């Protein structure tokens, strides 16, 4: 899936060298809820389990100009009866954030979710502190659906999570 500045490709087994380093990055592990210090062998088992799992699609976000793999974007819990899925995204280095890559990656992923998988809804949970992420979700038309109180334990405290959802027709109205 190709955009203007980035493209999405299926995460390859060779990418887990990168993703293992990323999971052990303290910022990303706390944002994404990963427990750090995962050995590479565990990442290999994780990759083997997800690659044949029809309820998950994980893509590498790569820059068009130099093919650099800058982050991942994924659909999980894909439910082909209720036709919905949970979205997640991260761009690892701050230098690559705020340049429009995340917005473009999400538009490509949502187009895949709604127009290839024929999903009806994509949803996610995020922290109220993730201002940049929330601003991107709202820009793409996601609607706040509720708040899970003290739902997420990290760095010694319980934090709220906000639920956002986007219906297919909302995406089509916002991203024409
Ligand atoms: C969330 C994330 C994927 C967004 O990707 P990105 O490439 O940085 O996003 P973009 O550059 O496309 O857009 C960023 C938007 O945030 C807005 N923004 C930046 N700082 C902001 C602030 N302090 N307040 C409000 N909006 C802000 C920008 O204005 C921009 O919107 P614009 O297109 O209207 O200019 C990326 O920042 C990231 O990986 N963050 C860490 C991991 C994370 O939070 N993942 C989401 C967990 S739910």
Give the helix ranges, DSSP H, for the chain.
16-23, 26-32, 40-51, 101-115, 131-139, 168-174
For domain 6-174, say whether CATH 3.40.630.30 is its number: yes
Q: For residue 23, what pLDDT is reported?
A: 84
Sequence-ordered list of residues with C-beta below 8 angstroms from that of 65, at least 6 positions apart, any chain: 5
- Condensed to tens digits (0 to 9), the pLDDT of residues 163-172 reads 999 999 999 9
CB half-sphere exposure, 2, CA atoms < 13 A: 3
Domain ranges of the chain: 6-174
- Condensed to tens digits (0 to 9), the pLDDT of residues 126-147 reads 999 999 999 999 999 999 999 9
Cα of 41 vs centre of ligand 1, distance in Å, is 32
Alpha carbon distance 84, 3 (integer Å): 24
Tell me the C-alpha to C-alpha distance, in Å, between residue 105 and each of 16, 48, 87, 176: 19, 24, 12, 16
For residue 87, pLDDT over 70 is answered with yes
The response to whether residue 117 sits with its C-beta less than 6 Å from ligand 1 reads no
Three-class DSSP category at 15: helix
Residues annotated catalytic, as ranges:
137
Sequence-ordered list of residues with C-beta below 8 angstroms from that of 29, at least 6 positions apart, any chain: 23, 35, 36
- Condensed to tens digits (0 to 9), the pLDDT of residues 40-64 reads 898 899 899 998 899 999 999 999 9
Which atom in ligand 1 lies closest to the alpha carbon of residue 91? 39
For residue 28, pLDDT over 90 is answered with no
For residue 176, pLDDT over 80 is answered with no
Across the range 22-41, mean pLDDT stands at: 82
Which atom in ligand 1 lies closest to the alpha carbon of residue 73? 3
Cα of 145 vs centre of ligand 1, distance in Å, is 20
For residue 69, pLDDT over 70 is answered with yes
CB half-sphere exposure, 9, CA atoms < 13 A: 12
Rg of the Cα atoms in the chain = 16
Give the bridge partners for 86, in sequence order.
76, 123
Atom 6 in ligand 1: which residue has the minimum CA distance? 102
Give the bridge partners for 62, in sequence order.
7, 69
Name the strand (E) or helix (H) holding 123. strand 121-126
Higher-pLDDT residue of 18, 112: 112
Give the bridge partners for 153, in sequence order.
158
Cα of 135 vs centre of ligand 1, distance in Å, is 6
């Amino acid at each position: 899936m190709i955009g203007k500045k980035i493209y999405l490709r299926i995460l390859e087994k060779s990418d887990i060298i990168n993703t293992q380093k990323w999971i052990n990055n303290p910022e990303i592990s706390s944002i994404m809820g990963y427990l750090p210090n995962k050995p590479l062998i565990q990442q290999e088992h994780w990759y083997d389990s997800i690659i044949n799992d029809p309820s998950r699609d994980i893509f590498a976000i790569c820059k068009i100009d130099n093919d650099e793999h800058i982050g991942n974007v994924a659909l999980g819990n894909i439910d082909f009866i209720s036709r919905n899925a949970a979205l997640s995204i991260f761009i690892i280095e701050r230098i690559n954030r705020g340049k429009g890559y995340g917005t473009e990656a999400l538009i490509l992923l949502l187009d895949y979710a709604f127009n290839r998988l024929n999903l009806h809804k994509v949803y996610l949970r995020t922290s109220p502190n993730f201002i940049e992420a929330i601003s991107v979700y709202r820009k793409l038309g996601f609607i706040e659906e509720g708040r899970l109180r003290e739902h997420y334990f990290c760095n010694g405290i319980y934090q709220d999570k906000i639920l956002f959802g986007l219906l297919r027709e909302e995406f089509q109205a916002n991203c024409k």
